[in-house]
Homo-oligomer: A and B are copies of this chain.
Amino acid sequence: MPDENGKKSLAMVVMSGDFDKLVGAFIIANGAAAMGMDVTMFFTFWGLRALKKNVRTGTTLFGKMIGLMYGGDVSKSHPSKFSFGGMGRWMFNKMMGNHKVQTLPQMRDLAVELGVGLYPCQMSMDVMEIPQESFIDGAQDPVGVGFFLLKAQEAEVQLFI
């Protein structure tokens, strides 16, 4: 329901780390914020990449494998189709640039500027061994699923991406 100031809100879970899904998530989030909505993005599992700086993560062997294979910051995400070992991302960036669409890192930074709440999931961080220091400054402190659910209960719109 609208809050005391009449603001409507959007709450989304972002579990995917795919380039195209993240582009979709940030276009929706930034559009909603620009319309004056209060926006919460809850990043879990692969989605955590959206908040990462370009640093290596992982402490155990498995964590290091994840850090290596699924590492890098948001600019390293691959499209869910037509990945072509990185070619796909380059192609989409080119096509988006041709039409003056922002890059994914620009969209993420705009979300921070617009006051979108970017929350990493604590449990996913633990399991994937991704520490809070590896996130950009604009990310909020980690939260749990209960936080998301409280936001979602009050939100006019909820999405799982």
Contact = CB atoms under 8 A, between A and B. Distances in A.
B153 A153 contact: no
B149 A123 contact: no
A5 interface: no
A99 B127 contact: yes
B95 A123 contact: no
A60 to B, nearest CB: 7
A75 interface: no
A128 interface: yes
When all copies of this chain in the complex are counted, the total is 3
Interface string A105-147: 0000000000000000001001111000000000000001110
Interface in A34-85: 35, 37, 44-46, 60, 62-63, 65-66, 69-70, 81-82
Given A123-B99, A149-B35, A13 B8 contact: no
Given A35-B149, A157-B149, A62 B15 contact: no
A127 B158 contact: no
4 closest residue pairs by CB, A with B: A31-B145, A159-B160, A99-B126, A152-B157
Interface of A: 8, 10, 12-13, 15, 20-21, 24, 27-28, 31-32, 35, 37, 44-46, 60, 62-63, 65-66, 69-70, 81-82, 91-92, 94-96, 98-99, 101, 123, 126-129, 144-146, 148-149, 152-153, 155-161
Given A24-B44, A153-B157, 4 more contacts: A62-B95, A96-B127, A101-B127, A149-B157
